[in-house]
Structure 1
């Protein structure tokens, strides 16, 4: 069999990993640096990595993640209220193996979604099945599924996930029907897989989200029974970007100038 035929067969069999390292592996073998078994092992390892990378890319495409920022890209110095050790503990994904939840609380633009996405990226690298969805979008899908009589099928999908990331719970209140369906999802997911949830409201305000104190308490009971809470108290990243451009400083100067002019009058 010719060299060209070997590469043609590898391409036909979609063994791109082996094809990529075949030449260098054969050179090492011909020099006596590797025996036949080591050569085969190198080729198989290369193909395994190729398969894992393809699987990761596909999972990333269907994960629903709004962006692909990692935990390494997070600026902890800008948010000193965040315990970096706590986030690094979450990065190990032990909470997922324990089927625990994570709740990020804090005002808008403090990095809640970035941290949630970063943990999602870590889970994807470990071959976990994850999905990211905005809270309102999620509830709308649940309501649609209920009306169209495939609610149980939809719930089974969310239950099958190793990690469900629900973003921005609390920006808008849920109506009674939506709140009940959301509770049903959380109940079904309880101890079956992990949830990461971000919210701009403290737990004491959740009755405003669900418009029912009893239902809010029930949701909290399921979410917080096995969970880690990260409460972020810091400045907005949008404000940080404006400070970089000097916009905030300019506005402050203008404001002071206006006040001085008024006092002079």
Structure 2
């Protein structure tokens, strides 16, 4: 809690009028002294009795965004107090990784709550915290003020910046992740089919049943089953992840 410039001016006026009343012998100036000092004293007493409390509801839309996408923040703020107070300048704390201006003046409303808002943009991927929120309140005459704050915080998430990737054709032209059969020249336990004999084929690959069936030399053509692998890349930099 602190005295405003208006209170300081009233105190100065009270001191000056008191000195003039004593030096110039003008007792009427003592009324001015009492009035100025009394206003400040009453404002201080009312501020001590007020014990204001801050009610806050913050809405962040959308909560998950692409890089540089606008995030709209709406705050419903109210001050509960034993005596009437006036809310003035407000501020919502923003991290250095967020672009935006979260300050302003609480508008005057007929009800106990007022709505303020602002827009921000995330500069870097990861989780970004908004808050705490603070507001300055004072008496109706603007003589005494104090700052109220709340520890409530909200977050929004900025997704990594996406870039198109080149499609790289895997073995046997597989690009869709499906299991393919790939010809191989080795012998194995996989499915075996027959093909016509070619010069240079080993005799141990001779397929006798297929040769008898087709009436021409046939050899074994082994096909091994390929299972495409998937590579997952994880960014382990702790600065871009939520530590909560």
Scaled by the length of structure 2, what TM-score is found? 0.22
Q: Which has the higher strand share?
A: 2
Scaled by the length of structure 1, what TM-score is found? 0.21
- Greater Cα radius of gyration, structure 1 or 2: 2
